[in-house]
Amino acid sequence: DAGVIQSPRHEVTEMGQEVTLRCKPISGHNSLFWYRQTMMRGLELLIYFNNNVPIDDSGMPEDRFSAKMPNASFSTLKIQPSEPRDSAVYFCASSTQGFEQYFGPGTRLTVT
């Protein structure tokens, strides 16, 4: 199993541009999570899907952030427009019915 796959691994963009982060969960996992990690705020949950349905999006910072899960094998996190304060490492994780979460390698986003 390849584990959770995230792309791109690194993204550098200018303020105001649209950014799309992608995640492929482990096959057979029915829960998918998007987290963001910064030095100041640590690791924080942005949104959580169960069976492709968003369950908890209370961590999404503002309307500039949106996430979709069109099918069981793919999810996107979009930031439009991006701002320098969005610079962080974004992790995607997946799990089966409530058991351990498997994290991807992360996407390091830099907004200049």
Partner 1 sequence: LAKTTQPISMDSYEGQEVNITCSHNNIATNDYITWYQQFPSQGPRFIIQGYKTKVTNEVASLFIPADRKSSTLSLPRVSLSDTAVYYCLVHGFDTGRRALTFGSGTRLQVQP
Residues lying near partner 1 in the complex (CB under 8 A): 4, 31, 33, 35, 42-45, 48, 50, 55-56, 91, 93, 95, 97-106
Residue number, 3 or 16, with CB nearest to partner 1: 3
110 HSE (CA, 13 A, CB side): 5
Task: Cis check for the bond before 81: say yes or no (omega within 30 of 0).
Answer: yes
- Give the nearest distance from C-beta 32 to partner 1 in angstroms: 11
- Give the nearest distance from C-beta 81 to partner 1 in angstroms: 27
Distance separating alpha carbons of residues 90 and 97, to the nearest angstrom: 23
Task: Cis check for the bond before 105: say yes or no (omega within 30 of 0).
Answer: no
- Give the nearest distance from C-beta 103 to partner 1 in angstroms: 3
